[in-house]
Amino acid sequence: MTDTPATLTPELAGLTGDTSLESYFWNSGWFTANVQLVAELKPDDAMIDIGCGSGRLAHGLYDWFGGRYVGVDIVPALIDYCRRRFPRYEFHLLNARSDLYNPGGSAEPAATRIPLADQTFDLAALPSVYTHLLPETCQLMTSEVSRLLKPRGRCLATFFILDEMGSGAALAFGHDWAAGCRVEKRETPEHAVGYRRTFIEDTFRVAGLAMACSYRGSWTGRGGLGFQDQLLFRKIGQEG
Protein backbone atom coordinates (compact mmCIF):
# COMPACT_ATOMS: atom_id res chain seq x y z
CA MET A 1 0.00 0.00 0.00
CA THR A 2 1.28 3.48 -0.86
CA ASP A 3 0.60 6.81 0.81
CA THR A 4 -2.30 7.54 -1.52
CA PRO A 5 -4.90 9.51 0.47
CA ALA A 6 -8.37 8.19 1.25
CA THR A 7 -9.83 11.61 0.40
CA LEU A 8 -10.49 12.34 -3.25
CA THR A 9 -8.21 15.02 -4.68
CA PRO A 10 -8.40 16.79 -8.04
CA GLU A 11 -5.17 14.97 -8.97
CA LEU A 12 -6.72 11.54 -8.35
CA ALA A 13 -9.90 12.51 -10.19
CA GLY A 14 -7.79 13.77 -13.08
CA LEU A 15 -6.12 10.39 -13.54
CA THR A 16 -9.38 9.15 -15.05
CA GLY A 17 -10.07 12.25 -17.09
CA ASP A 18 -12.17 14.37 -14.76
CA THR A 19 -11.27 18.04 -15.02
CA SER A 20 -12.64 18.84 -11.53
CA LEU A 21 -14.27 17.25 -8.51
CA GLU A 22 -17.60 18.48 -9.87
CA SER A 23 -16.94 16.49 -13.04
CA TYR A 24 -16.12 13.40 -10.96
CA PHE A 25 -19.39 13.53 -9.04
CA TRP A 26 -21.44 14.28 -12.16
CA ASN A 27 -19.93 11.27 -13.91
CA SER A 28 -20.50 9.16 -10.80
CA GLY A 29 -24.22 9.87 -10.98
CA TRP A 30 -24.30 9.32 -14.73
CA PHE A 31 -22.50 5.95 -14.61
CA THR A 32 -24.70 4.81 -11.72
CA ALA A 33 -27.88 5.70 -13.60
CA ASN A 34 -26.64 3.85 -16.67
CA VAL A 35 -25.97 0.56 -14.89
CA GLN A 36 -29.39 0.78 -13.26
CA LEU A 37 -31.49 1.88 -16.25
CA VAL A 38 -29.62 0.51 -19.28
CA ALA A 39 -27.93 -2.57 -17.81
CA GLU A 40 -30.70 -3.29 -15.26
CA LEU A 41 -28.38 -3.81 -12.29
CA LYS A 42 -30.22 -5.55 -9.45
CA PRO A 43 -29.40 -5.00 -5.76
CA ASP A 44 -28.12 -8.55 -5.30
CA ASP A 45 -26.19 -8.89 -8.59
CA ALA A 46 -22.47 -9.56 -8.81
CA MET A 47 -20.82 -6.92 -10.96
CA ILE A 48 -17.31 -6.11 -12.14
CA ASP A 49 -16.26 -2.55 -12.94
CA ILE A 50 -13.36 -2.84 -15.38
CA GLY A 51 -11.36 0.37 -15.52
CA CYS A 52 -12.82 1.47 -12.18
CA GLY A 53 -10.44 4.44 -12.05
CA SER A 54 -10.95 6.62 -9.00
CA GLY A 55 -14.21 4.89 -8.06
CA ARG A 56 -16.84 6.99 -9.79
CA LEU A 57 -19.19 4.03 -10.10
CA ALA A 58 -18.25 2.64 -6.69
CA HIS A 59 -19.13 6.02 -5.15
CA GLY A 60 -22.57 6.01 -6.74
CA LEU A 61 -23.33 2.43 -5.72
CA TYR A 62 -21.81 2.33 -2.25
CA ASP A 63 -24.79 3.36 -0.11
CA TRP A 64 -27.42 1.14 -1.73
CA PHE A 65 -25.90 -1.72 -3.72
CA GLY A 66 -25.82 -4.86 -1.58
CA GLY A 67 -24.44 -7.32 -4.13
CA ARG A 68 -20.83 -8.11 -4.91
CA TYR A 69 -18.85 -5.28 -6.48
CA VAL A 70 -15.32 -5.81 -7.85
CA GLY A 71 -13.27 -3.00 -9.40
CA VAL A 72 -10.12 -3.48 -11.49
CA ASP A 73 -7.71 -0.96 -12.97
CA ILE A 74 -4.11 -0.70 -14.20
CA VAL A 75 -3.16 2.48 -12.27
CA PRO A 76 -1.71 1.62 -8.82
CA ALA A 77 -2.56 4.96 -7.18
CA LEU A 78 -6.22 4.62 -8.16
CA ILE A 79 -6.53 1.10 -6.77
CA ASP A 80 -4.84 2.22 -3.54
CA TYR A 81 -7.32 5.09 -3.21
CA CYS A 82 -10.36 2.90 -3.93
CA ARG A 83 -9.31 0.29 -1.37
CA ARG A 84 -9.04 3.00 1.29
CA ARG A 85 -12.20 4.88 0.30
CA PHE A 86 -14.52 1.89 -0.33
CA PRO A 87 -13.42 -0.84 2.12
CA ARG A 88 -16.61 -2.89 1.68
CA TYR A 89 -15.79 -3.42 -1.99
CA GLU A 90 -13.10 -5.53 -3.66
CA PHE A 91 -10.39 -4.07 -5.90
CA HIS A 92 -7.65 -5.66 -8.02
CA LEU A 93 -4.65 -4.10 -9.72
CA LEU A 94 -3.90 -5.35 -13.23
CA ASN A 95 -0.27 -4.40 -13.64
CA ALA A 96 -0.46 -4.25 -17.43
CA ARG A 97 1.93 -1.93 -19.17
CA SER A 98 0.41 1.08 -20.91
CA ASP A 99 2.57 3.83 -22.38
CA LEU A 100 -0.08 6.39 -21.47
CA TYR A 101 -1.63 5.11 -18.23
CA ASN A 102 0.82 2.68 -16.59
CA PRO A 103 4.28 2.91 -18.17
CA GLY A 104 5.80 1.03 -15.23
CA GLY A 105 3.53 -1.99 -15.65
CA SER A 106 5.29 -5.35 -15.63
CA ALA A 107 2.89 -7.36 -17.81
CA GLU A 108 2.27 -7.25 -21.53
CA PRO A 109 -1.35 -6.20 -22.18
CA ALA A 110 -1.90 -9.20 -24.45
CA ALA A 111 -0.85 -11.55 -21.60
CA THR A 112 -2.95 -9.91 -18.88
CA ARG A 113 -5.72 -11.99 -17.34
CA ILE A 114 -8.19 -10.75 -14.75
CA PRO A 115 -7.55 -12.96 -11.68
CA LEU A 116 -11.15 -13.98 -11.03
CA ALA A 117 -13.15 -17.17 -11.59
CA ASP A 118 -15.11 -17.99 -14.75
CA GLN A 119 -18.84 -17.25 -14.91
CA THR A 120 -18.80 -15.17 -11.72
CA PHE A 121 -20.62 -11.96 -12.66
CA ASP A 122 -24.07 -10.88 -13.76
CA LEU A 123 -22.82 -7.57 -15.13
CA ALA A 124 -19.55 -6.18 -16.46
CA ALA A 125 -19.34 -2.39 -16.76
CA LEU A 126 -16.60 -0.83 -18.91
CA PRO A 127 -17.16 2.94 -19.05
CA SER A 128 -14.50 4.62 -21.22
CA VAL A 129 -12.30 1.51 -21.45
CA TYR A 130 -12.62 0.38 -25.07
CA THR A 131 -12.09 4.01 -26.08
CA HIS A 132 -8.44 3.54 -24.97
CA LEU A 133 -7.78 -0.03 -26.18
CA LEU A 134 -6.02 -0.89 -29.42
CA PRO A 135 -7.35 -3.89 -31.41
CA GLU A 136 -5.33 -6.75 -29.90
CA THR A 137 -6.07 -5.62 -26.35
CA CYS A 138 -9.69 -4.90 -27.29
CA GLN A 139 -10.15 -8.49 -28.43
CA LEU A 140 -8.39 -9.89 -25.36
CA MET A 141 -10.53 -7.78 -23.03
CA THR A 142 -13.72 -8.93 -24.72
CA SER A 143 -12.70 -12.57 -24.28
CA GLU A 144 -12.03 -11.91 -20.60
CA VAL A 145 -15.40 -10.22 -20.16
CA SER A 146 -17.16 -13.20 -21.73
CA ARG A 147 -15.21 -15.63 -19.54
CA LEU A 148 -16.19 -13.77 -16.38
CA LEU A 149 -19.90 -13.42 -17.17
CA LYS A 150 -22.53 -15.94 -16.18
CA PRO A 151 -24.77 -17.30 -18.96
CA ARG A 152 -27.05 -14.44 -20.06
CA GLY A 153 -24.86 -11.99 -18.17
CA ARG A 154 -24.72 -8.39 -19.42
CA CYS A 155 -21.88 -6.14 -20.53
CA LEU A 156 -22.35 -2.37 -20.69
CA ALA A 157 -19.48 -0.62 -22.46
CA THR A 158 -18.81 2.70 -24.17
CA PHE A 159 -17.11 3.33 -27.50
CA PHE A 160 -16.35 5.88 -30.15
CA ILE A 161 -18.17 4.30 -33.10
CA LEU A 162 -16.75 5.79 -36.28
CA ASP A 163 -19.90 5.11 -38.32
CA GLU A 164 -21.81 7.56 -36.11
CA MET A 165 -19.56 10.58 -36.74
CA GLY A 166 -21.19 13.73 -38.05
CA SER A 167 -19.61 16.89 -39.42
CA GLY A 168 -19.54 18.46 -35.95
CA ALA A 169 -17.90 15.53 -34.16
CA ALA A 170 -15.81 16.40 -31.08
CA LEU A 171 -12.99 14.11 -32.25
CA ALA A 172 -11.54 13.72 -35.74
CA PHE A 173 -9.93 10.25 -35.62
CA GLY A 174 -7.73 11.25 -38.51
CA HIS A 175 -5.20 8.41 -38.29
CA ASP A 176 -5.69 4.84 -39.52
CA TRP A 177 -4.35 2.27 -37.06
CA ALA A 178 -5.70 -1.10 -38.24
CA ALA A 179 -8.66 -2.45 -40.16
CA GLY A 180 -11.78 -1.01 -38.56
CA CYS A 181 -9.76 1.17 -36.15
CA ARG A 182 -8.64 4.80 -36.17
CA VAL A 183 -6.93 6.90 -33.49
CA GLU A 184 -7.03 10.57 -32.57
CA LYS A 185 -3.30 10.96 -31.88
CA ARG A 186 -0.79 8.81 -33.72
CA GLU A 187 1.98 9.57 -31.19
CA THR A 188 -0.20 8.50 -28.22
CA PRO A 189 -2.78 6.18 -29.80
CA GLU A 190 -4.34 5.08 -26.50
CA HIS A 191 -5.51 8.65 -25.91
CA ALA A 192 -8.68 8.01 -27.95
CA VAL A 193 -9.47 4.97 -30.12
CA GLY A 194 -12.42 4.68 -32.50
CA TYR A 195 -13.84 1.53 -34.09
CA ARG A 196 -16.18 0.66 -36.91
CA ARG A 197 -19.41 -0.90 -35.69
CA THR A 198 -18.75 -4.11 -37.64
CA PHE A 199 -15.40 -4.57 -35.84
CA ILE A 200 -17.10 -4.19 -32.46
CA GLU A 201 -19.98 -6.51 -33.28
CA ASP A 202 -17.68 -9.16 -34.77
CA THR A 203 -15.28 -9.01 -31.81
CA PHE A 204 -18.08 -9.48 -29.31
CA ARG A 205 -19.83 -12.16 -31.37
CA VAL A 206 -16.63 -14.23 -31.56
CA ALA A 207 -16.39 -13.97 -27.76
CA GLY A 208 -19.98 -15.18 -27.35
CA LEU A 209 -21.66 -11.83 -26.70
CA ALA A 210 -24.62 -10.52 -28.70
CA MET A 211 -25.66 -6.87 -28.88
CA ALA A 212 -28.91 -6.10 -27.06
CA CYS A 213 -29.15 -2.34 -27.65
CA SER A 214 -27.07 0.73 -28.45
CA TYR A 215 -27.25 4.47 -27.84
CA ARG A 216 -25.40 7.12 -29.82
CA GLY A 217 -23.27 9.61 -27.85
CA SER A 218 -23.09 13.37 -28.27
CA TRP A 219 -19.39 13.26 -29.27
CA THR A 220 -20.65 12.49 -32.78
CA GLY A 221 -22.02 16.01 -33.20
CA ARG A 222 -25.43 14.49 -33.87
CA GLY A 223 -26.79 14.44 -30.33
CA GLY A 224 -27.09 11.42 -28.11
CA LEU A 225 -27.26 9.86 -24.67
CA GLY A 226 -24.12 10.97 -22.82
CA PHE A 227 -20.80 11.75 -24.51
CA GLN A 228 -19.62 8.33 -25.69
CA ASP A 229 -21.62 5.70 -27.56
CA GLN A 230 -23.10 3.05 -25.25
CA LEU A 231 -23.62 -0.60 -26.18
CA LEU A 232 -25.24 -3.32 -24.12
CA PHE A 233 -24.37 -6.97 -24.83
CA ARG A 234 -25.68 -10.24 -23.44
CA LYS A 235 -23.73 -13.45 -23.15
CA ILE A 236 -25.06 -16.13 -25.45
CA GLY A 237 -25.88 -19.35 -23.62
CA GLN A 238 -28.43 -21.33 -21.66
CA GLU A 239 -29.33 -20.64 -18.07
CA GLY A 240 -27.81 -22.90 -15.47
Give the CATH number of the domain where residue 131 resides: 3.40.50.150
Please report whether residue 207 resides in a domain: yes
Reported residue count of the chain is 240
Please report whether residue 70 resides in a domain: yes
Please report whether residue 5 resides in a domain: no
| Percent residues over pLDDT 70 in the chain | 90
Please report whether residue 196 resides in a domain: yes
Residue-range definition of the domain harbouring residue 203 = 10-232
The predicted model gives 55-84 an average pLDDT of: 94
The predicted model gives 48-63 an average pLDDT of: 96
pLDDT digits (tens, 9 = 90+) for 77-89: 899 999 999 999 9
Q: What is the DSSP letter of 88?
A: T
Question: Band of the pLDDT at 197, cuts 50, 70, 90?
Answer: very high
Beta strand spans in the chain (E)? 46-50, 68-73, 90-93, 121-126, 149-159, 175-178, 181-183, 193-195, 209-215, 229-235
Percentages helix, strand, coil for the chain (3-state, rounded to 5) are 30, 25, 40
What is the predicted pLDDT for the residue at 175?
Answer: 98
Query: Which of 33, 76, 20, 34 has its CA nearest to residue 52?
Result: 76
Q: Phi, psi (5° rounding) for residue 68?
A: -90, 125
Please report whether residue 4 resides in a domain: no
What is the predicted pLDDT for the residue at 15?
Answer: 85
What is the predicted pLDDT for the residue at 225?
Answer: 86
pLDDT digits (tens, 9 = 90+) for 111-136: 578 999 999 999 999 999 999 999 99
Helix residue spans in 86-232 (DSSP H): 135-148, 197-206
Please report whether residue 240 resides in a domain: no
Please report whether residue 53 resides in a domain: yes
Asked if residue 197 lies in contact with residue 230, where contact means CB atoms within 8 angstroms, the answer is no
Please report whether residue 179 resides in a domain: yes
Residue type for 157, please? A
Asked if residue 156 lies in contact with residue 34, where contact means CB atoms within 8 angstroms, the answer is yes
CA-to-CA distance for 162 and 151, rounded, in angstroms?
30
Task: Concatenate the DSSP letters of all residues of 42-63 into one string.
Answer: -TT-EEEEET-TTTHHHHHHTT
Q: How many domains does the chain have?
A: 1
12 class by beta-carbon count within 10 Å (0-12 exposed, 13-18 middle, 19+ buried): buried
Average pLDDT, rounded, for the chain? 91
